[in-house]
Amino acid sequence: MTRSTPILVILCVGAFTARADGIADSRRNAIVTSIERAAPAVVSVNVAVRAQRRVPSLFDEYWGLFDVPRLQYQVQKKRMNSVGSGFIFDARGHIITNYHVIEDVAEVVSVTLPDGRELPVDVVGADERTDVAVLRVRDAQQVPFVGFGDSDDLLTGEWAIAIGNPFGTLMKDPQPTVSVGVVSANHRRVSSSIGEGERLYQGMIQTDAAINPGNSGGPLVNSHGQVIGVNTMIFSQSGGSVGLGFAIPINRARRVAEEIIQYGRRRDPWAGFKVEDVQSLPPAILQELNVQVDRGCIVRNIIKGVPAHQAGLQPGDVIVEINGNRVDNATDIDFVIWDLFDGDRCKLRVDRQGQTGAIEFTIRELQR
């Protein structure tokens, strides 16, 4: 009996240690490791904005009694910290953020890393239509950077983790905030149309991970710590998160960023033809043109020599599908074209007086 007691004690201690290790292992789940991989490369963006400041006058107290100059103002730059988020995505210190984070600011001053380092940056370029901007750290020495996932291969219901600096101007802390949810839906079209000054919010990732002011430009990551989207906008009546957040798919944002780095801008795609909705035309016109379908877009004119024309597209053709997407109106075509890049292939399914065929051509850059 006496000899067996130490053995029992050893067994109990061993069991307790194993249980403690098991609890520790259960805490370090996929979400925790994902955050540890991505969060070090998430930055808060610091800018300077133009602000009016009143210049005091010696005659202020007598103003109105005598003919003295009215109040004078000076326009000065005012620094604002953590107006938005971003993430470093390569060893050269390139950063993706939203265009609207740096829109209308006087200067993008710096970014602050979670480890407390504040690094000066330059604006490489931005694209208003896709709401993507690229910054670059001036002295990119040993900066952490994220890895990319594939936003074309997302499952509805898989983990989605939003990392950023919501309300960063209030928190005064470089540590990013994390919120966890799922991919609620894919390929959401949020914009109603594409026009001058409007943004390409289509094919968006919907998530219920909380996104709040200051999160814009930060990464949406998967359970492997890979970036799958750029947190961009929410639907909310209160201004706070209600579980309807949207992120730009990283495959699009990455291509836009690569174009900005290489060319200083995103090259606008161009197809070289104009269309009109079939449903907007009077029956007499449709009969005259021998249109045999009740939806789609009729080609009104096309520039001779452009790839679409060389591929066989003609005035009077009715486009009913583009790159596998159903066409009901011109907006459906605009959204697909604006999501393509110079050199991409575009495939149309057209109806020509009752005969259906396929036409494939290469997208080119719009020459202004």
Of 266, 346, 279, which is closest to residue 307 (Cα–Cα)?
346
Strand extents, DSSP E, 279-324:
297-302, 318-322
Active-site annotation holder among 82, 85, 151, 216:
216
Q: Is 238 a catalytic residue?
A: no
Q: How far apart are CA 88 and CA 96, in angstroms?
A: 7
Output the CA–CA distances (angstroms, integers) from residue 153 to 29, 86, 122, 158, in the order listed: 22, 23, 33, 11
Is the separation of the CB atoms in 105 and 49 below 8 Å?
Answer: yes
Q: How many CB atoms lie within 10 A of CB 363?
A: 20
DSSP class of residue 228 equals E
| 89: phi then psi, degrees, rounded to nearest 5 | -125, 5
Q: How far apart are CA 115 and CA 331, in angstroms?
A: 45
Q: Is 236 a catalytic residue?
A: no
Q: How far apart are the first and last CA of the chain?
A: 95
Q: Is 94 a catalytic residue?
A: no
Output the CA–CA distances (angstroms, integers) from residue 188 to 90, 203, 206, in the order listed: 28, 5, 7
Active-site annotation holder among 127, 131, 334, 351:
131
Active-site annotation holder among 90, 100, 268, 342:
100
Cite the active site residues.
100, 131, 216
